[in-house]
Structure formats: C-alpha cells, structure tokens
Amino acid sequence: MGSTIYYFSATGNSLTIARQIAKGLENCKIQSMAAETPHEPVGGPDNPIGFVFPVFYIGLPRLVKRFAQKLNIRKGTYCFAFINFGGYGGDTLGMLDDILKEKGVYLSYAAGVRMPGNSIVRYQASASHVVQKLIKNSMDKANEAAGAIANGKLQPVKRNATLLSKMANRGLYKGISEWDEKFEVAGECTGCGLCAKVCPVSNIKMEKRRPVWQHHCERCLACIQWCPCEAIEYGKKTIGRRRYRNPDIDAEDIIKGRTQGI
C-alpha cells in the first residue's frame, strides 16, 4: 500500500504543499508532472493518487491537463487534489474532475489554498511578511488535508464559476506560440543556463551563452523568477518588480523534479 502525489511547481509553492501532505500519508512518494508520464496503470483501491498544482488563469495549466489526460488510473482509486492560487481558484478542481471522470474515477477529496502569486507579468510579488503568513497558512491547510486523505474522507468538488473559468482559461492558450517572444535578456546575464534547467518543458536553449525561447512556453515564469541576476524581463511589464521563489525550495529541487521522484 502506498500513495503517490503528482505535482507541478515552477517556483516551489506546489512542491512545498506536496511534501507537507506526503508527510501525513503512509509510504507516499511525490513525482513531478514535468517528468515522463508513467507507462503502466497507477493507483488502485489501496494506492491513492493525488494532484498538487497551481491555478493558471483560473483553470488548469496546460502541462497538468496533458498529464492528467495521459495518466492511466485504475478503477476504484481514491483520487485527491490540492490546488494553490494567488487570487481565485475558480472551477480548476472541476476541470480536473471532468478529466478523471472520463477515466472512470473522480476526485474523492478536493481542496485549495491561497499562496503567494508568481505571475510577475501581471502584478508585483507580495511583501515578505505577507509571503510568510500565506505559506504558514498553506502548511496548516496541507496538514489538515493530509489527515483527511489518510482517513479516506470524502470532500467532492464544489463547482463554481464554471463558465468564467472556461473563458478565462482560454486566455492561457490564446497566442501561446508567440507569447514567449516578449522575453528579453539584459546585459547582466552571465550565461549560467539556470533558466533553461528549471523550464519544465525545455522551452529554453542556450545559444552563445544567452537563453533563446523555443515557442512552446507554459507561462509558468520559472525562468524569470529563478534567474540569479534578474536579467530576464517580459517586455517592460516586469521591470522593477520583485521576484518570487518559495523560500523553502531551491533551484535544485525544481531541476531534479523534472526527471525523478523526490
């Protein structure tokens, strides 16, 4: 018997939550959704499956959607999900539940929590005292969720803002192939290549010690947030804005998660 949590994390929020929930579950392993989707069926009556990830445009990140659609889950599996968001969760859990129902399973437990947002293209990162408060609250919620999941508690998805989420989430896909053309690299870039290493979909190639985006961006913004020199900008929108990375996670955690379980 054992549990598996599949997570997607660009700046560390979802990874900290996944780790915290895993602590409260028996024999639980966590695996990044940026890694290869398992070829064999997963789950089963004695092997719960969980999903931990951020909300993008009040809906599912593309990477999460693709992973969930490809994952082969055995019938009778207790599935759970825990999302985190900077503003509003919308119908994100409902979107995931719809995908799972097509496989003959569903979310037995669904929950979420507000965390420091990392969408630097749209807004300024939270001040440090706000970050600390939000992270502490999220860990309390993760502990609560772990206890409920360990006991097989049922907390189904409560659908809300279904149409709004569907419409807003379409914005994530609109013009996606050209979206990364606005990334710019300043002279401060040292050519360390960390931006390429943390990208969950290998969308960045280093050419002449400068990052070049390959036009299949997930909009996770890991490249901007993890750059040690703050040399990456998105047009003029991000100039002068604070960067955000979860203080309990380092770049190696993100890099390792792309290819192996933690």
Q: What is the four-CA torsion angle of 62, 65, 70, 76, rounded to 10 degrees?
A: 160
Distance CA 259, CA 254 (A): 10
Distance CA 82, CA 154 (A): 14
Q: Give the pLDDT score at 54.
A: 97
pTM score, whole prediction: 0.95
Q: Give the pLDDT score at 258.
A: 73
Q: Give the pLDDT score at 47.
A: 96
Domains recognised in the chain with CATH numbers? 3-166 (3.40.50.360), 176-253 (3.30.70.20)
Distance CA 161, CA 211 (A): 38
Q: What are the average pLDDT values for consecutive 10-residue runs of the chain, which has 262 residues?
A: 94 97 95 93 96 95 96 97 95 97 97 95 92 96 98 95 88 84 94 97 96 95 97 95 96 84 50
Distance CA 108, CA 124 (A): 35
Q: Give the pLDDT score at 174.
A: 80
Q: Is 38 left (phi over 0), alpha (psi -120 to 50) or beta?
A: beta
Structure tokens, 98: 């719809």
Nearest CA to 130 among 86, 170, 178, 70?
A: 86
Q: Give the pLDDT score at 259.
A: 64
